[in-house]
């Protein structure tokens, strides 16, 4: 019986529910001591005094380290612009200035507080537009000396506070605007969003035999290895990262955080294992949150209302250091038209250094606010034209063979229309419009997205008892991609139950490179690599079983826990017997598989700074929401939420639905509840989970989900990515629905009760005045 598409228990479910699972924050080592960081209390300033002596003098303190104790080098994922410790200037609140190791966590924190740190404040660069003005103070006066990780010759436009830029300027834009019948213009502003995983970041560092080992719960252990090696100036193989069960990451655990500090402290403490763990406030204010951004869109329309050209400019907040952000800047090119034809489109994406915590990856990177802008803009155009919003979208919708701004051709974009139809069948648009009640509104939006193509590898090892181990550095950050997806795929191939497949936790000394839990890639990439590895196991099983069954290997099949003769299932031998026989004859059976998706063809001349050139393994998404606004408080309740999503093939129904429900929930939080404001001083205003409000079960309806399945020939069982897509559109559809409900445009995210109520009361006032006239 096939286990693909079936509900199977997740392999880590029992341990997580019972409390047996060891998360990174639970990990302990013999003789372990504790660390704490001294962090900058201000967002911009010059260090005038740093005295570690009072901390070092405290009994029980093993080490205190500062920039003077770390290699004089800069590190970074895309651009090497980051020091381990601030040396002379501090560039954001929370930036590490020193680290201490002591017998207990409490003592470490007391010692950190005892370090004397005096900072002369400097003006903070916070406002994005202001940061780009010629007279703005430079966040990095030395920006020219920084080296891209890909080498000094990388196509990497940047200048001053402009941390990265990607520009596409095709011919015909200005001509179209010159002859336009009508031009529609919008500006959208979105805040940051904190990933708000349950498990705060932690790390245990051990320096032993000249090598660094770090235990951490991380989405991308190999990236941590590389970052620790850069910061500590050792070769990558001198660093070993051991992964643990992850209490959520959502992109925030893709780059190193506490790991290099734990490693350095252990060396300073003569090899004692040192554990660092963030308080929730430390975690929140230093997390690489989703970036705030300003998006400006203009569309040129002809007399029929057809869009004939567009300009889109996005200015995004990089924070004080670059992380993964420059690599993502070119996503604006891929989303500037959404999924609608819009003629030649000029796209300018600017990433700006500010004196704030560095931003980074968060599920649906850049897409959440780009789609919010594009889809709000579509509603605005339809309103200007007085035409139905859904019809207007369908009129411009991509079809099979659509050629994109980067030259990539979407052969299967017609799936989008199926998505609209699936939603229509469950929630007919005309019916929703006809049944409109006061303060209720509906919104609809669509998107396309990639499945991250980066490489993965797996070894499938057969035990002598007929069970299998999958050795991989892939991580399950809660999605079930490993605990269900990869497990099911290997079980299916080997004809054994999923409960007989064990997948290791990552260890960079043991498993090959894996590009981490990001971009919806794990089920597809690691599933495929595991499938290839399992096929090698099958070949070896058949070769050994051929001798046992006195049959030709080509006549054998592996199924139901046996190797058997095709067409004669009675002639079989259990896998366990074959595995044991092999061990003592030809040697233990294992197989290896690797996989990477090639980037789809694109036109390299279409843009400058095109670091993410095209979107591999595209998926398609249509969302609809119905909301109700409380006219007294301005709060918004989401009444109904529908998702039609292309997934290739459903491997795990629970995993797939879980990702859809979770992504929409996070998107609703982004749209309505989660406020992460930065004051003029560059410091966050929300600093705990009391003021940073995540949506609760009562704030989120049960999502109605309609999977679209067009199997991908290269994916395992046809699977494409699932996890990111669901968060792309909630901000767009909810903003459209709320604007519809109150009859006024709301163009900022999050949508606050303040803004809604002010808009309602202004409208009432205007109505009253008109009434009086």
Partner 1 sequence: MELSTADSVDEALDELSRRGERCRVLAGGTDVMIQLARREIAPEHLLHVERLGELRAVETDGSTRLGALVTHRDLAVGRLGPGYAAVAESAATVGGLQTQVVGTIGGNVCNASPAADTLPALLVHDAEVTLRSVRGSRTVPLAEFVVGRRVTTRAPDELLTTITLGRPAPRTGDVYLKVGRRSAMEVAIVGLAARLTFDGTGVVTDARIAVASVGPRPLRSVGAETALVGGTGDAESVHAAAKALLQDVDPIDDVRGTADYRRRVIPGLLGRAVRVCAQRAEG
Which residues pair with residue 447 across a beta bridge? 621
Residue 5 interacting with partner 1 (CB under 8 A): no
Residue 696 interacting with partner 1 (CB under 8 A): yes
Q: DSSP for 417-481?
A: HHHHHHHHHHS-HHHHHHT--TTEEEEEEEEEE------EEEEEEE-TTS-EEEE-----SSSSI
Parallel/antiparallel/unpaired status of strands 182-190 and 293-301: antiparallel
Nearer to partner 1, 453 or 669 (CB): 669
H/E stretch holding 753 reads: helix 753-772
Say if residue 749 is preceded by a cis peptide, omega within 30 of 0: no
Nearer to partner 1, 534 or 742 (CB): 742
In the three-class reduction of DSSP (H, G, I as helix; E, B as strand; rest coil), residue 586 is classed as coil
Nearer to partner 1, 161 or 665 (CB): 665
Nearer to partner 1, 211 or 280 (CB): 280
Window contacting partner 1 (CB under 8 A); options: 332-340, 462-470, 485-493, 633-641: 633-641
Nearer to partner 1, 48 or 104 (CB): 104
* Residue whose tokens read 């009432």: 764
CA distances from 109 to 113, 487, 637 (A): 6, 42, 42
Closest CA relative to residue 526, chosen from 477, 479, 478, 472:
472
- Which residue in the set 690, 713, 769, 773 belongs to the binding site for partner 1 (CB under 8 A)? 690
Closest CA relative to residue 528, chosen from 367, 393, 418, 651:
651
Residue 71 interacting with partner 1 (CB under 8 A): no
Nearer to partner 1, 242 or 668 (CB): 668
Residues binding partner 1: number (CB under 8 A): 24
Torsions phi, psi for 36 (to 5 deg): -150, 150
Query: What is the C-alpha separation between 265 and 234, in angstroms, rounded?
Result: 15
Nearer to partner 1, 687 or 710 (CB): 687
Give the contacts of 634 (CB within 8 A, at least 6 positions apart): 752, 753, 754, 755, 756, 757, 758, 760
Window contacting partner 1 (CB under 8 A); options: 21-29, 339-347, 739-747, 752-760: 752-760
Nearer to partner 1, 360 or 634 (CB): 634
- Which residue in the set 693, 714, 744, 745 belongs to the binding site for partner 1 (CB under 8 A)? 693
Residue 686 interacting with partner 1 (CB under 8 A): yes
Residue 758 interacting with partner 1 (CB under 8 A): yes
- Which residue in the set 76, 292, 695, 716 belongs to the binding site for partner 1 (CB under 8 A)? 695
Could you say which residues in the range 697-716 bind partner 1, by CB under 8 A? 698-699
As to burial, measured by CB atoms within 10 angstroms (0-12 exposed, 13-18 middle, 19+ buried), residue 697 is exposed
Q: Please report how close the Cβ of residue 685 comes to partner 1 at its closest, in angstroms.
A: 6
- Which residue in the set 303, 754, 769, 770 belongs to the binding site for partner 1 (CB under 8 A)? 754
Residue 438 interacting with partner 1 (CB under 8 A): no
Nearer to partner 1, 606 or 700 (CB): 700
Residue 426 interacting with partner 1 (CB under 8 A): no
Residue 673 interacting with partner 1 (CB under 8 A): yes
Could you say which residues in the range 548-607 bind partner 1, by CB under 8 A? none
In the three-class reduction of DSSP (H, G, I as helix; E, B as strand; rest coil), residue 746 is classed as coil
Nearer to partner 1, 200 or 600 (CB): 200
Window contacting partner 1 (CB under 8 A); options: 232-240, 365-373, 610-618, 685-693: 685-693
Window contacting partner 1 (CB under 8 A); options: 183-191, 294-302, 543-551, 747-755: 747-755
In 3-state terms the chain splits into helix, strand, coil percentages (rounded to 5) of 30, 25, 40
Residue 635 interacting with partner 1 (CB under 8 A): yes
* Residue whose tokens read 């606050």: 752
Interface ranges with partner 1 (CB under 8 A): 631-635, 637, 672-673, 675, 685-686, 690-691, 693, 695-696, 698-699, 752-754, 757-758, 761
């Amino acid at each position: 019986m096939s286990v693909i598409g079936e509900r199977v228990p997740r392999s880590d479910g029992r341990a997580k529910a019972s409390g047996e699972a060891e998360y990174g924050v639970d990990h302990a080592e013999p003789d372990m001591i504790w660390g704490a960081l001294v962090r900058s209390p201000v967002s911009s300033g010059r260090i005038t005094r740093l005295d570690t002596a009072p901390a070092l003098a405290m009994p029980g303190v093993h080490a205190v380290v500062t920039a003077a104790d770390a290699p004089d080098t800069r590190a970074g994922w895309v651009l090497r612009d980051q020091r381990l410790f601030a040396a002379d200037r501090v560039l954001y609140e929370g930036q590490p200035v020193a680290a201490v190791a002591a017998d207990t966590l409490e003592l470490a924190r007391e010692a950190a507080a005892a370090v004397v740190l005096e900072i002369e404040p400097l003006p903070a660069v916070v406002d994005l537009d202001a940061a780009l003005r010629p007279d703005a103070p430079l966040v990095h006066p030395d920006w020219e000396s920084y080296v891209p990780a890909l080498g000094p010759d990388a196509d990497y436009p940047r200048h001053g506070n402009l941390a990265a830029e990607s520009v596409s300027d095709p011919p015909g834009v200005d001509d179209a605007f010159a002859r336009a019948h009508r031009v529609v213009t919008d500006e959208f502003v979105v805040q940051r969003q904190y990933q708000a995983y349950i498990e705060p970041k932690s790390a245990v560092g051990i320096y032993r035999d000249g090598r660094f080992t770090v235990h951490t719960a991380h989405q991308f252990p190999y990236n941590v290895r590389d970052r620790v090696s850069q910061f500590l100036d050792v070769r990558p193989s001198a660093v070993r990262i051991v992964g643990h069960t992850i209490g959520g990451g959502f992109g925030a655990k893709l780059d190193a955080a506490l790991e290099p500090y734990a490693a350095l402290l252990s060396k300073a403490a003569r090899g004692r294992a040192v554990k660092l763990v963030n308080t929730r406030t430390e975690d929140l204010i230093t997390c690489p949150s989703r970036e705030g951004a300003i998006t400006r869109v203009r569309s040129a329309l002809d007399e029929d209302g057809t869009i004939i050209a567009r300009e889109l400019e996005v200015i995004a907040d990089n924070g004080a250091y670059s992380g993964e952000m420059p690599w993502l800047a070119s996503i604006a090119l891929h989303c500037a038209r959404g999924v609608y034809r819009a003629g030649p489109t000029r796209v300018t994406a600017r990433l700006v250094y500010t004196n704030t915590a560095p931003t980074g990856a968060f599920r649906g990177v850049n897409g959440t606010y780009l789609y919010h802008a594009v889809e709000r803009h579509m509603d605005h155009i339809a309103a200007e034209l007085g035409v139905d919003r859904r019809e207007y979208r369908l009129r411009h919708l991509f079809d099979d063979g659509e050629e994109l701004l980067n030259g990539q051709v979407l052969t299967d974009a017609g799936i989008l229309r199926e998505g609209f139809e699936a939603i229509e069948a469950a929630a007919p648009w005309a019916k929703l419009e006809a049944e409109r009640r006061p303060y209720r509104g509906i919104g609809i939006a669509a998107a396309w997205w990639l499945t991250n193509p980066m490489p993965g590898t797996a070894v499938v090892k057969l035990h002598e008892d007929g069970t299998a181990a999958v050795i991989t550095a892939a991580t399950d950050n809660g999605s079930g991609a490993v605990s269900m997806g990869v497990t099911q795929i290997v079980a299916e191939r080997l004809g054994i139950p999923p409960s007989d497949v064990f997948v290791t936790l990552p260890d960079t000394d043991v498993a090959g490179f894996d590009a981490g839990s990001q971009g919806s890639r794990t089920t597809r990439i690691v599933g495929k690599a595991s499938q290839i590895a399992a096929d090698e196991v099958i070949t070896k099983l058949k070769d050994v079983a051929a001798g046992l069954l006195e049959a030709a290997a080509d006549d054998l099949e592996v199924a139901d826990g046996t190797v058997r003769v095709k067409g004669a299932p009675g002639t079989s031998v259990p896998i366990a017997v074959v595995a044991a026989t092999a061990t003592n004859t030809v040697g233990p059976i294992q197989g290896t598989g690797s996989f990477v998706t090639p980037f789809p063809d694109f036109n390299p001349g279409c843009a400058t700074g095109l670091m993410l050139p095209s979107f591999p393994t595209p998926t398609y998404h249509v969302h609809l929401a119905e909301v109700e606004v409380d006219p007294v408080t301005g709060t918004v309740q989401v009444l109904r939420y529908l998702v039609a999503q292309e997934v290739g093939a459903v491997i795990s129904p629970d995993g797939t639905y879980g990702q859809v429900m979770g992504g929409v929930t996070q998107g609703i939080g982004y749209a309505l509840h989660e406020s992460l404001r930065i004051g003029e001083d560059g410091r966050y205003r929300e600093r705990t989970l009391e003021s940073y409000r995540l949506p609760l079960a009562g704030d989120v309806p049960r999502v109605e989900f309609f999977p679209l399945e067009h199997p991908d020939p290269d994916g395992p069982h046809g699977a494409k990515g699932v996890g990111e897509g669901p968060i792309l559109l909630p901000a767009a559809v909810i903003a459209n629905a709320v604007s519809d409900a109150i009859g006024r445009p709301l163009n900022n995210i999050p949508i606050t009760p303040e803004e809604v109520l002010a808009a309602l009361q202004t409208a009432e006032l205007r109505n009253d005045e008109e009434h009086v006239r």
